Amino acid sequence: MSFDFSFSKFGEKIGRDGGIVKLMKDLGEALTENQEMRMMGGGNPAAIPEVQSIWRKQIQSILSEPEHLNTILGDYDGPSGNPIFLNALAESLNEKYGWKLTSKNISITSGAQTAFFFLFNILAGESSEGPKKILLPITPEYIGYANQGIHDDLFISNPGLIEETGDKSFKYKVDFDNLKITEEIAAICVSRPTNPSGNVLTDDEVNKLSSIAKSHGIPFIIDNAYGNPFPGAIYTSANPIYDDHVILTLSLSKLGLPGTRTGIVIGHEKIIEKISAANAVIGLANNNIGQAITAPLIKNREIFRISEGTIRPYYFEKMQRAREYVRDSFSESTPYKIHDGEGAFFLWFWFPNLPITSTELYERLKKKNVLVVPGEYFFYGTNEEWEHTRQCIRITFSQPDNVIKQGIKILAEEVEKAYQL
* 131, 232: one domain: yes
Q: Is residue 412 part of a domain?
A: yes
Q: Of 255, 277, 305, which residue constitutes the final position of a domain?
A: 305
Peptide bond into 140 cis (omega under 30): yes
Instruction: Give pLDDT tens digits for 334-387.
Output: 999 999 999 999 999 999 999 999 999 999 999 999 999 999 999 999 888 899
Average pLDDT score over residue span 67-93: 94
Instruction: Give pLDDT tens digits for 384-417.
Output: 889 999 999 999 999 999 999 999 999 999 999 9
Helix (H, G, I), strand (E, B) or coil at 67: helix
CATH code at 173? Answer: 3.40.640.10
What pLDDT does 18 receive? 63
Q: Of 243, 276, 305, which residue constitutes the final position of a domain?
A: 305
Q: Is residue 33 part of a domain?
A: yes
Residue 44 has pLDDT above 90, yes or no: no
Total domains, the chain: 2
d(CA 162, CA 165): 9
What pLDDT does 4 receive? 84
Q: Is residue 66 part of a domain?
A: yes
Instruction: Give pLDDT tens digits for 272-317.
Output: 999 999 999 999 889 999 999 999 999 999 999 999 999 999 999 9
What's CA 350's distance to the chain center, in Å? 20
Q: Is residue 34 part of a domain?
A: yes
Output b/e per residue, 339-350; b: 16+ Cβ within 10 A.
bbbbbbbbbbbb
Q: Strand 263-266 relative to strand 106-109: parallel, antiparallel, unpaired? A: antiparallel
Average pLDDT score over residue span 126-144: 94
* 353, 266: one domain: no
What's CA 305's distance to the chain center, in Å? 22
* 280, 322: one domain: no
* 221, 348: one domain: no
Peptide bond into 240 cis (omega under 30): no
171 and 179 in contact (C-beta within 8 Å)?
Answer: no
* 16, 107: one domain: no
Q: Is residue 398 part of a domain?
A: yes
* 260, 387: one domain: no
* 270, 136: one domain: yes
Burial level of 212, CB count in 10 A (0-12/13-18/19+)?
A: middle
* 163, 87: one domain: yes
Q: Strand 106-109 relative to strand 370-371: parallel, antiparallel, unpaired? A: unpaired
Which residues 6+ apart lie within 8 Å of 45 measured at CB?
Answer: 231, 253, 254, 255, 256, 258, 345, 398
Q: Is residue 346 part of a domain?
A: yes
Helices (H), 173-268: 203-215
Angle at CA of residue 162, ends 120 and 140, nearest 5°: 25
Task: Say which DSSP state 157 is in.
Answer: E
Q: Of 274, 305, 336, which residue constitutes the final position of a domain?
A: 305
* 280, 373: one domain: no
pLDDT bucket at 17, cuts 50 / 70 / 90: low
* 376, 393: one domain: yes
Which residues 6+ apart lie within 8 Å of 324 measured at CB?
Answer: none
Task: Say which DSSP state 23 is in.
Answer: H
What pLDDT does 12 receive? 82
Q: Is residue 181 part of a domain?
A: yes
* 21, 107: one domain: no
CATH code at 341? Answer: 3.90.1150.10
135 and 189 in contact (C-beta within 8 Å)?
Answer: yes
Residue 1 has pLDDT above 80, yes or no: no
* 325, 360: one domain: yes
Query: What are the φ and ψ backbone dihedral angles of 155, each rounded to 5 degrees?
Result: -120, 145
- The amino acid sitting at 180 is K
Domain that includes residue 363, residue range:
9-48+310-419
Query: What are the φ and ψ backbone dihedral angles of 409, each rounded to 5 degrees?
Result: -60, -45
d(CA 199, CA 380): 17
Residue 154 has pLDDT above 80, yes or no: yes
301 closest CA partner among 259, 309, 236: 309
Q: Is residue 1 part of a domain?
A: no
314 and 206 in contact (C-beta within 8 Å)?
Answer: no
